[in-house]
Amino acid sequence: MVVIMRPDAGRQDIDGVIERIRGCGMDVHVSQGKERTIIGIIGDEREIDFDSIAALPGVDRAMPILRPYKYVSRHVHPENRTIRVDGVTIGRGLVFMAGPCSVEDEDTTLRIAEQVQAAGAQIFRGGAYKPRTSPWSFQGLREKGLEILSRVKARTGMPICTEIMDTADIDVVGRHTDIYQVGMRNMRNYSLLAALGKTRKPVLLKRGDSAKLEEWLAAADYIIRNGNENIILCERGIRTFEDYTRNTLDLNAVVGAKIESSLPVVVDPSHGTGRADLVCAMGRAAVAAGADGLLLEVHFDPNRAWSDGMQTITPQAMGKLLDDCRRIQDLLGR
Amino acid sequence: MVVIMRPDAGRQDIDGVIERIRGCGMDVHVSQGKERTIIGIIGDEREIDFDSIAALPGVDRAMPILRPYKYVSRHVHPENRTIRVDGVTIGRGLVFMAGPCSVEDEDTTLRIAEQVQAAGAQIFRGGAYKPRTSPWSFQGLREKGLEILSRVKARTGMPICTEIMDTADIDVVGRHTDIYQVGMRNMRNYSLLAALGKTRKPVLLKRGDSAKLEEWLAAADYIIRNGNENIILCERGIRTFEDYTRNTLDLNAVVGAKIESSLPVVVDPSHGTGRADLVCAMGRAAVAAGADGLLLEVHFDPNRAWSDGMQTITPQAMGKLLDDCRRIQDLLGR
Amino acid sequence: MVVIMRPDAGRQDIDGVIERIRGCGMDVHVSQGKERTIIGIIGDEREIDFDSIAALPGVDRAMPILRPYKYVSRHVHPENRTIRVDGVTIGRGLVFMAGPCSVEDEDTTLRIAEQVQAAGAQIFRGGAYKPRTSPWSFQGLREKGLEILSRVKARTGMPICTEIMDTADIDVVGRHTDIYQVGMRNMRNYSLLAALGKTRKPVLLKRGDSAKLEEWLAAADYIIRNGNENIILCERGIRTFEDYTRNTLDLNAVVGAKIESSLPVVVDPSHGTGRADLVCAMGRAAVAAGADGLLLEVHFDPNRAWSDGMQTITPQAMGKLLDDCRRIQDLLGR
Amino acid sequence: MVVIMRPDAGRQDIDGVIERIRGCGMDVHVSQGKERTIIGIIGDEREIDFDSIAALPGVDRAMPILRPYKYVSRHVHPENRTIRVDGVTIGRGLVFMAGPCSVEDEDTTLRIAEQVQAAGAQIFRGGAYKPRTSPWSFQGLREKGLEILSRVKARTGMPICTEIMDTADIDVVGRHTDIYQVGMRNMRNYSLLAALGKTRKPVLLKRGDSAKLEEWLAAADYIIRNGNENIILCERGIRTFEDYTRNTLDLNAVVGAKIESSLPVVVDPSHGTGRADLVCAMGRAAVAAGADGLLLEVHFDPNRAWSDGMQTITPQAMGKLLDDCRRIQDLLGR
């Protein structure tokens, strides 16, 4: 932490800050500037309370230097991490997860699964528990949806990725999924993250729509710190003033996440755009930026999808997209 | 819902939309404009899927007309709602909830409680479970903190408001609190909201830092729909590009929440500014805008607070603020 | 500036930074932390290029310490500044500027002027040059509108405040206005700011809808630096994700602007909300927060206003609002 | 426009709206819904004032249907537009514009120019007039910089793209540049846009950092409407809450701009990221998303650049990036 004193701070203010920092068992460096005094902390600032320093008399600002995370950092784990799920490797080459937004009736779901598999998907995704803004919207098939997912796996062999919304559901969802998906609304549900950290199943952690990169990585640290290192980051767009698209897909954050951490990063261009006519272009862009894969909403009849039809593409469009992505990946020598 | 067709939409696109809407049991009105055809839906659009209409061929945009909530709406419940908690009425006159950000050791906490009560607080607030961005920061005293809160109530008689982070903790927290606080990170944790809807204890629902007004009200609808009408809305700032303050306190939303719903609305200027030197001015502004009360972080020694010291005011400053607020309220004849 | 080196920065990286800073004629303080080295600059960092330091090998981040402005700072000018315009003092007591969004025909404009004056306005505002998002919208009466403004002044004696959009119009607008208004779209039009700095007429500088507080103050510094100290800051809302209101009125920034600078600060709740049903509540809130006055869109028939009718209030509503504001001001002893 | 009446609107409110619309020479369609009445306007809504309708009694919301622009629309001009500048075609194949952020001394600038040309740049960019947040920062070499640009062109043959900040400078800048660049701070400087519309020189129009896609296109319409169709759109990042990067590069908007309009769209990953370590990945992503080219800050010694060194890449890095981009373009069959 760097503590910047106000221009009018006196000797005793400065001494107060130094004393407080030393009281926490750390040491200081003091720089007497022309206009201001600056005090640097020597030690792991994550262990002292930022705010209590910032509130001391004579302090203008206190600026953190260390990031709010440790374990996910590339400094700690320099090589790219890979995760194996039922024979699929995430974090080396490209991985494609596809399926409908919501699990629908068994026949429809199986038909979609077969088509996305034929189009190149390695993992099947679909929501049984659906977090919806309005309590009046369809909330998912819940347990019945989970059973349909298990039948998809039995039929196709594809591992399953589905959303978990509550610590109370970890067991029941865990019986039917291979990857727990944490949706953007729960990225800061730290109780859920800690509980998932105690399982060993991979977690696909979507970025919150108002989460800074460092907060997203800190959320991943909640999982690792509890023992589970199998984390896949998923960028799915942030909320901005722009309303042409449902969200603003932030590919900068994909590149940043791969610089700052060694976790695999996939991109969800379906939610990241909210428009089927943008999904393929942004999927290609994500791979060109360095994403390790895509999460896609696909349905053979998007107009009949039970939710999110507006951002759903067909298996045919998906096949073409995957082909483009694989060729871009080859071309870039990755 | 209003469906706006593309300029190049053909007769069969238009018929497709009409057929789909009628298939959902609703009727339509068709307006043939100069450039475009517009189709209006007659019926409760919340019961059909917005996206599946928007994804139909020839559709440019589909715009919702109804809000995503019902029960919290002032149309449904025109008079202001009031909530009684242990003799304190929320929603008529001003209510002040104050205390430290985190519950600290028993002596400190009791001392703060006595001082905020003397300064005019009617309800004591303090966090035992602390959602923190970094897993490396102090996470609260948890059960031990809850017990200290019960001792505060036994000593002072003030009802307690403390945060709940997990459905699994509803019982244990419920034994020690009079109001469940849902923090901004959990505003979209719909499992938690639904579970709190099944209790009868008041819920203080903080606005998510990226939640639109209508999403905040829809979150309240999750609670009411499950049976609990005792909801207090709390504006605590949204996330914007501005970094001078920790959040941007959105008083527009306070006025809007009182227009659109009949729930009481309180304001948290501590988190809404993140700076002790702004708290009092913004607390006065909140009351002038029509807030029903304030939620304040107060400590006799802000520099020694275990968290959020930078935005914590003293009991003395609080006393002066409450006095100003009461006089503004009188002056406005409320 | 504080330069934070990467954990893996070597001796030669550190020496490179030190050498560069010394080459700019400044001195350094080096703090050898546990994980990282931190280098502080001694001298006025505004004179060296921030980016060129941040780009040096081994640098993780460079953080500015000084604000991007000087002259507007309260450190430089501790007492509140006041501005006199034709007998009206801005910056002591409350000032109210009111009128229609656009100058309309002479009769209507005069009638509005008389009514807002009767309701308590001291300064008349109205746009002759209208910056509009679409080139297809009404762009203002331009020169003809300016002449009507002069007739308003001749009739009522009220000083005039109207918008200037182009350096080429400084003379013509200056012949008819007492205060140049710089709209939010031109807050970063530095050519215009510099040119207004060469006049002596007061400038009402609206905050850009994506401008941080410090950028707004730096824009004011462009004017002062060119010789004109008569600046009135005007908060009019920022752009966020919230679409219930046209903008998010940021009263935090009003308090902040008065802490950081000594310029008078007025608030425009008409644009800051975009809704007539919010204007009065937010006007009162602005005064309670410490604003020096309000800028209001007022029309005797808001539904007939040529622009912005949705956010326009009547002279009657305005009269009541001003009364409330004056009583709040008295109560707060200002 | 679609006008949505409040649930409690009476017959006379509805008639009032209808009468007003008919008074503007347009016709209406009325849909009597279950909860509300909806009134659609038949005719070109851009010619009547949106706000004045929205402010009528009984109106809940008025929603525009038409976009705020016409001429840039792909409906009006279906085929992609191309622009020729001195033998370089923009809008067919990829175009690369590169150079330093600021024009520096003649030797340095010429050396950069030769290197970026060797690396594949077809157009030279560099700022002589620099809009800077702080008046205390370097403001560019101005006229002297323009002359250096002319010498670059004389030496290399590359056309020049440089920023114009003021209508008063159109002639002087025009004597030295082949493309006028409008920076993001001036995207809503409509006087400048209108004036550039009266020239015939191509204009590179950067998106404002708080401009929605439709506002950016409407800004282009200001130029076309005044007679100049030679517009190149440039996405350069928007302002969001994320501070890991300087801006959030919004590639969604690139795809959207190409769907909605037929203008060429280039991307500036230098400003769009603010970090040299992200520029190449995002440049590739931009091309994969469909951009028509890139605008790049390049310097043989980024640490010595006079401004923006942090986001500047070397000619070597640029050469590799261009090679990747061209191969992606080929692969996608464009």
DSSP for C78-121 reads -SPP-EEETTEEESSS-EEEEE-SB---HHHHHHHHHHHHHTT-
Measured from the Cβ of residue D173, the count of other Cβ atoms closer than 10 Å reads 24
Chain D nearest-CA residue for C168: D168
Query: Across residues D134-163, what is the average pLDDT?
Result: 95
Distance of residue A187 Cα from the nearest chain B Cα, in angstroms = 8
Give the burial class of A171: count Cβ atoms within 10 A of its Cβ; 0-12 exposed, 13-18 middle, 19 or more buried: exposed
* Statement: residue A47 has pLDDT above 70: no
- Residue D216 confidence (pLDDT) above 70: yes
Q: What is the pLDDT of residues D265-312, one digit of tens each?
A: 999 999 999 999 999 999 999 999 999 999 999 999 988 877 777 899
Higher-confidence position of A47 and B294: B294
The percentage of chain A sitting over the pLDDT mark of 90, rounded to a whole number, equals: 74
pTM: 0.94
The alpha-carbon gap from D283 to the nearest alpha carbon of chain A, in Å, equals 8
Kindly give the confidence (pLDDT) of every residue in chain B, 334 residues in length, as a single tens digit, with 9 standing for 90 and above. 788 888 888 999 999 999 888 887 888 888 777 678 888 887 777 667 777 788 888 888 888 777 889 899 998 899 999 999 999 999 999 999 999 999 999 999 999 999 999 999 999 999 999 988 888 888 899 999 999 999 999 999 999 999 999 999 999 999 999 999 999 999 999 999 999 999 999 999 999 999 999 999 999 999 999 999 999 999 999 999 999 999 999 999 999 999 999 999 999 999 999 999 999 999 999 999 999 999 999 999 988 877 777 899 999 999 999 999 999 999 998 8
The minimal CB distance from B65 to the residues D29, D36, D44 is found for D36
Instruction: Report the percent of chain D where pLDDT is more than 70.
Output: 99
Q: Which of D216, D251, D260, D265 is the mutation pick for testing A, counting most A CBs within 10 A?
A: D251
For residues D100-108, average pLDDT: 94
C-alpha distance from C113 to closest chain D C-alpha (Å): 20
Q: Do C32 and A31 touch (CB under 8 A)?
A: no
SS (H, E, C) C50-86: HHHHHCCCCEEEEECCCCCCCCCECCCCCCCCCEEEC
Q: What angle do CA B70, B75, B81 make, to 5 degrees?
A: 90
Q: Note the pLDDT tens digit of each residue in C195-247.
A: 999 999 999 999 999 999 999 999 999 999 999 999 999 999 999 999 999 99
Q: Name the residue with tokens 């600078």.
A: C261
Sheet strands (E) in A88-202 = 88-90, 95-99, 123-125, 160-163, 179-182
Which are the contacts of A259, defined by CB distance < 8 A and separation ≥ 6?
A74, D277, D278
In chain D, the percentage of residues whose pLDDT exceeds 90 is: 75
Q: What is the count of residue pairs from A and D with beta carbons less than 8 Å apart?
A: 121
Amino acid at B166: D
Q: Do D75 and B7 touch (CB under 8 A)?
A: yes
Q: Looking at beta carbons, which residues of chain B come within 8 Å of D43?
A: 33-34
Give CA–CA dist C74/C83, Å, rounded.
Answer: 16
Residue (of C221, C252, C257, C220) closest to C238 by Cα position: C252
Cβ-nearest to B75 among D7, D38, D240: D7
Cβ-Cβ contacts under 8 Å, D218 against chain C: 133-135
What pairing do the DSSP bridges indicate for beta strands B37-42 and B27-32? Answer: antiparallel
Q: Quick one: pLDDT band at residue A22, thresholds 50, 70, 90?
A: confident
Query: How far is Cα B126 from Cα B110, in angstroms, rounded to an integer?
Result: 11
Q: Which of A259, A278, A285 has its CB closest to that of D256?
A: A278
Q: Tell me the shortest Cα–Cα distance from D51 to chain B, in angstroms.
A: 18
- C167 touches D: beta carbon within 8 Å: yes
What pLDDT does A204 receive?
98
Nearest CA in chain C to D67: C134
- C245 in contact with chain B, both atoms CB, cutoff 8 A: yes
3-state secondary structure of D240: coil
Neighbour count for residue C332 (Cβ, 10 Å): 15
pLDDT for D133 equals 87
pLDDT at A79 over 80: yes
Q: Which chains touch B (3 or more CB pairs under 8 A)?
A: A, C, D
Nearest to B17, CA basis, from B43, B53, B61: B53
Question: Element (H or E) spanning B235, and its range?
Answer: strand B231-235
Cβ–Cβ below 8 Å for B34 and D43 = yes
Q: Do residues B44 and B27 lie in contact, with contact meaning Cβ atoms separated by under 8 Å? A: no
Q: What is the pLDDT of residue D111?
A: 98
Q: Which of B94, B210, B217, B251 to mutate to test the interface with C (most CBs of C within 10 A)?
A: B251
Phi-psi map region of B132: left, alpha, beta (phi>0 left; psi -120 to 50 alpha): beta
Adjacency order of strands within the sheet including D2-5: D27-32, D37-42, D2-5, D59-63
Q: Which two tokens stand for residue A45?
A: 């600032």
- B73 touching C (Cβ < 8 Å): no
Residue B310 phi, psi (nearest 5): -65, -25
Confidence at D75, pLDDT banded by 50, 70, 90: confident
Strands C160-163 and C123-125 turn out to be parallel
B57 touching A (Cβ < 8 Å): yes
Please give the interface size between A and C, counted as residue pairs whose CB atoms are below 8 Å apart: 66
Contact D35 B241 (CB under 8 A): no
Q: Is-contact B92 B80, C-beta < 8 A?
A: yes
Q: How far is CA D69 from the centre of its chain?
A: 14
pLDDT attached to residue D148: 98
> Which residues of chain B make contact with D34, given a CB cutoff of 8 A?
42-44
A140-180 confidence digits (pLDDT tens): 999 999 999 999 999 999 999 999 999 999 999 999 999 99
Whether the CB of A194 is below 8 Å from some CB of chain D: the reply is no
Give the list of residues 6+ apart from residue B39 with CB closer than 8 angstroms, or none: B2, B3, B5, B14, B17, B18, B21, B28, B29, B30, B31
- What is the three-class DSSP state of B160? strand
Would the CB atoms of C52 and D303 count as touching at under 8 Å?
yes
Q: What separation, in Å, do the N-terminal and C-terminal C-alpha atoms of chain A show?
A: 38
Tens of pLDDT along chain C (334 residues) come to 788 888 888 999 999 999 888 887 788 888 777 678 888 887 777 667 777 788 888 888 887 777 889 899 998 899 999 999 999 999 999 999 999 999 999 999 999 999 999 999 999 999 999 988 888 888 899 999 999 999 999 999 999 999 999 999 999 999 999 999 999 999 999 999 999 999 999 999 999 999 999 999 999 999 999 999 999 999 999 999 999 999 999 999 999 999 999 999 999 999 999 999 999 999 999 999 999 999 999 999 988 877 777 899 999 999 999 999 999 999 998 8
Please report where in the chains the tokens 């514009």 appear, as a residue: D97
Q: Does D281 touch chain A (CB under 8 A)?
A: yes
List pLDDT tens digits, range A196-238.
Answer: 999 999 999 999 999 999 999 999 999 999 999 999 999 999 9
Mean of pLDDT values over D30-37: 76
Dihedral, CA of residue C74, residue C79, residue C81 and residue C84, to nearest 10: 180
Whether residue C167 and residue D165 make contact (CB cut-off 8 A), yes or no, is: no
Burial class (CB in 10 A: 0-12, 13-18, 19+), B135: buried
pLDDT at position B138 is: 83
> Rounded to an integer, what distance in angstroms lies between the CA atom of residue D61 and that of residue A24?
57
Cα four-point dihedral sign C149, C150, C153, C159? positive
Which of A18, A31, A32, A35 is best to mutate for the C interface (most C CBs within 10 A)?
A: A31
Beta pairing class for B88-90 and B83-85: antiparallel
Question: How many B/D residue pairs have CB atoms within 8 Å?
Answer: 66
Which residues neighbour B142 within 8 Å (Cβ) at sequence distance 6 or greater? B128, B129
- Residues 6+ positions from B171 with CB-CB distance below 8 Å: none
User: Are A313 and A282 in contact, with CB atoms under 8 Å apart?
Assistant: no
Q: Write out the H or E segment, with its range, that includes residue B233.
A: strand B231-235
Q: Which two tokens stand for residue D2?
A: 């679609």
C57 Cβ under 8 Å from any chain D Cβ = yes
- Whether residue D48 has pLDDT greater than 80: no
Inter-residue contact B153 to B126 (CB < 8 Å)? no
Give the pLDDT confidence score for residue A152 in this predicted structure.
98
